[in-house]
Homo-oligomer: A and B are copies of this chain.
Amino acid sequence: MTSPPAVSIRLPTASCWGSPEMTIEAATGGAARRRLRLGMVGGGQGAFIGAVHRIAARLDDRYELVAGALSSDAERARASAAELHIAPDRAYGSFAEMAEREAAREDGIDVVAVVTPNHMHAAPVRAFAERGIHVICDKPLTHRLEDALELVEVVRRAGIVFGLTHNYTGHPMVRQAREMVAAGELGTLRVVQVEYPQDWLTTRLEESGQKQAAWRTDPARSGAAGSVGDIGTHAFNLAEFVTGLRCESLAAELTAFVPGRPLDDNAQMLLRFGGGARGMLWSSQVAPGNENALRLRVYGEKGGLEWAQEQPNLLLHTPFGEPPRIISRAGAGASLAAAHASRIPAGHPEGYLEAFAQIYRDLAEQITARMESRQPDPACLLVPGLEAGLRGMRFIAAAVESGRNNAAWTEIGH
């Protein structure tokens, strides 16, 4: 088999010390690359994902955190801001105040990161979008489908750049997988197997006062789904992102194994994709020995691909009738799409934070291009946005409905 021309494979001269395509810090001809002014909603002391967003924003030096409404508790908000070098006058007590005052400043924020629990996404996103401030939002888009539908309209009308941190799409080898499928390397797809098992909710951790466990198992804050909303959406997004297919319907078995837990902690589904591919999705938070074992396997007429989050620098390519090949990030066989999302040489692992940072890096280019009234680098356009967010919400809604209906086939809609 020869590589089809549609996939841009890097030449095998790439060494362990980098290749020209790697954009660890692209030269700009001596001009300082703009650092975007970033605000944050949520993410105060004790939060997890807020800190991840901040690292992601810092890593490639394209953002500067200058404002925040970091907590709904005023004292905590102030203290958190101080720890983060945010000036006191830009440490706000509410997102509403922040949106209003930042929009009014000459040097107001360019973009806001919304990192609150799910039920608190919609309001701040709307507030900033309506003031023309670009938005980076943690997933899922909202905690109810109806909110999501409304929000999408608002954001579209606002015309801002909107990115949803389905962070696994920032991995170089996920992007290469998508590129290879799109280029026809696997032929027509037939089978899509995706799973995301964890074990951290094997016992009733939410009773222990653990904050993450508490809100993620609470319908009021998480929405109608447990594992499905928290990690099943990542699996679903990954499957659609890589295959380019639309999942049309599903039959879902949702179970809450831990006594007293109101939301599913395990979900198993059959999937039907447009074009005839068939799939399975498994999400679980009660599978001992699994930490974050997100894994995607895709099979077509001509070959297969396999990727696993816990070893993200590798992509297994299995062309039918040939020995399997291990493609490594920035190694021989890595594509331009992978190189675009790489910082360091092959064999030096990049991980979760780098993939998260890639979302931020690509959005920085999108936002900067908008500000400079130019077309963005096309390689930076792969970031999930409103459409992916809505797909995720429809997926959750369909899964919950199917689960309540004895795993009956349920349309996902679009």
Report A's interface with B, CB cutoff 8 A.
12-13, 15-18, 24-25, 27-33, 35, 45-46, 48, 51-52, 54-55, 58-61, 78-80, 82-85, 190-191, 193, 195, 198-203, 205, 208, 210, 212-213, 251, 253, 255, 257, 266, 268-270, 272, 276, 278-280, 282, 284, 286-293, 297, 299-304, 306, 309-313, 316-328, 331-333, 343-354, 406-407, 409
Given contacts A30-B78, A190-B266, A289-B324, 16 further A-B contacts (CB under 8 A): A12-B321, A17-B212, A24-B48, A25-B51, A27-B83, A193-B195, A199-B318, A268-B278, A269-B270, A288-B299, A291-B345, A292-B348, A321-B332, A323-B325, A326-B326, A350-B352
Q: A30-B78, A191-B266, A310-B347 are in contact. Are A292 and B16 (CB under 8 A)?
A: yes
A16 touches B304 (CB 8 A): no
Bound-complex Cα distance A55 to B25 (A): 10
Bound-complex Cα distance A202 to B302 (A): 8
Bound-complex Cα distance A82 to B28 (A): 9
A213 neighbours in B (Cβ, 8 Å)? 15, 17
Q: What are the nearest 3 A-B pairs in CB distance?
A: A291-B347, A289-B318, A12-B321
B288 touches A270 (CB 8 A): no
Bound-complex Cα distance A407 to B33 (A): 52
A253 touches B268 (CB 8 A): no
Q: A193-B282, A253-B270, A292-B345 are in contact. Are A200 and B304 (CB under 8 A)?
A: no
B268 touches A255 (CB 8 A): no
Main secondary structure on A side of the interface with B? loop
Bound-complex Cα distance A35 to B54 (A): 15
A11 to chain B, nearest CB (A): 9
A18 to chain B, nearest CB (A): 5
A406 to chain B, nearest CB (A): 7
A35 neighbours in B (Cβ, 8 Å)? 85
A344 touches B52 (CB 8 A): yes
B352 touches A353 (CB 8 A): no
A291 neighbours in B (Cβ, 8 Å)? 16, 328, 331, 345-348
A117 to chain B, nearest CB (A): 13
